[in-house]
Structures are given as C-alpha cells and as structure tokens.
A and B are shown apart, each in its own frame.
Chain A
C-alpha cells in the first residue's frame, strides 16, 4: 500500500514537472515567446555593453594614474550608473 502511494506521488510530480516544462518550451517557440526572448537578449546586450564600458573606465583610470593625470574621466560615470543599476536590480 505504502509503495503504491509513493509511486502515485512520484508519478504526479513527474507529470506536473513535465507538463510545466513542456508548456514553457512550447511558449518559447510561439511568436510572442520569440519576441520576449529577443527583448531579453537586448537587455543582455545592453548589460554587456555597460560591463565593457565599466572595464574601459577602470583601465583608463589605471592609465591616467600611471601617467600622473588626475582629471575626471568622462567614462567614469559608467561605474556609478552600473552600481545604481545593480542596486535597482537587487530591489
């Protein structure tokens, strides 16, 4: 009796999991799902660009420090923008 209940629970869980996953995959293949993926990829590209700019600002600051130049760099604000974006994401 006990093993039947266990197998029933396992089967139900597997069925629910499979149906949810299948529905999500099916949604991904619909036009609206594809447009959502494209939009999310755009967000990813923007985040990647912000990371590249942050790295460039970091390197420019290093070079300026090595040269003994201490003027404010135009790209230095990217770091603060990234930090604010991260804090917004965490909220």
Chain B
C-alpha cells in the first residue's frame, strides 16, 4: 500500500465518522425539539387556563404542585381592595401579582403617553411642527393683526387720557376756588 492508497482509506474512514456524527446530532436535535415543544405546551396550558379560585380569595388561581416559580396571572386595579397597594392618581393603573409575592405595576395609558411624547426627538419634532404651525400665513396675519390692534387700542387710550387730563386742567384754571 503506497501513500496514495493510505490517504484514500483515511479519507473514507473520516467521511464515515462524519456521517455517523451528523446522524447522531440530527437525532439528538430532534429529541431536544420534541422535549422543548412538550414543555412549551405544558407551560401555555398552565398560563392560559388558570384554575378559578373557588374561595374567591382575591382572584388568585389555585396553586398546582411544581408551579410556585411561575409568574402570574392576576391583574387587579390599583384601587381594588385586594391589591394591597395604595391607589395613586391614575385610576387605570393595573397591578400584576406574582406567585412569589411580587407586585408589578403596569403603567397607565397617561404615563405611556407621557413617556412616548417626552423623548427629546419627539419633543423636538412636535416643537418644530408647532413653530411651522405658528409661521403659517394665516397665523402670521392673525398675530400681526393682534399687534396692530393692541397698539391702536393703547394709543387711543393714552390720547383719551391726555385729553381728559387737559380738560381737567382747563377746568381747574377757570375755577376761582
């Protein structure tokens, strides 16, 4: 057996080993996928359909064995008596109670609006729109008319006051007492 035949045999052995490895990995992957799918279905089944509490204890679902680490499911209003948290100004805030005793406060719509519109880029965009709105021809004419009217009003008031003062002064000089 010369060197060339040795290389061919070695290549054949390597390719067979690679084929075996691929088959093994494919089988393992299929098994793992099946296990993950089963787990996901089990978790979805637990989260979607919690058992209703027959005692009416705050709407909390009955705890099944082995589920004490999972979060949630009970959504109550902050002002609800069973929430255990003082109600704020926003009445539409909701509280999510986890099974391990944590309370997650969901932001109200007003807060979401405030957070969304309070970002610098959005504020800059709204300000630019506002300036463009104020510089429209109709707004400009309106402001110009307001300024002109205000100036005329003030001038008339001042002239009227001046005439009144002059009249009063003339009456004072005529009055001998």
Contact = CB atoms under 8 A, between A and B. Distances in A.
Interface of A: 24, 27, 32-33, 36-37, 39-41, 43-44, 47-48, 51-56, 58-60, 63-64, 67, 69-73, 89
A14 B147 CA distance: 27
B85 interface: no
Nearest to B157: A36
> Mostly helix, strand, loop or mixed at chain B's interface?
helix
Given A51-B139, A52-B133, A89-B146, A59 B109 contact: no
Contact of A64 (B117, B148, B150): B117
Indicate the size class of the contact surface on chain B.
Answer: 20 to 34
A70 B109 CA distance: 8
B134 A37 contact: no
B131 interface: yes
A55 B147 contact: no
Contacts, number: 90
B146 A56 contact: no
> Mostly helix, strand, loop or mixed at chain A's interface?
helix
A55 B134 contact: yes
Nearest to B144: A44
B116 A67 contact: yes
B112 to A, nearest CB: 6
Contact of A55 (B113, B129, B155): B129
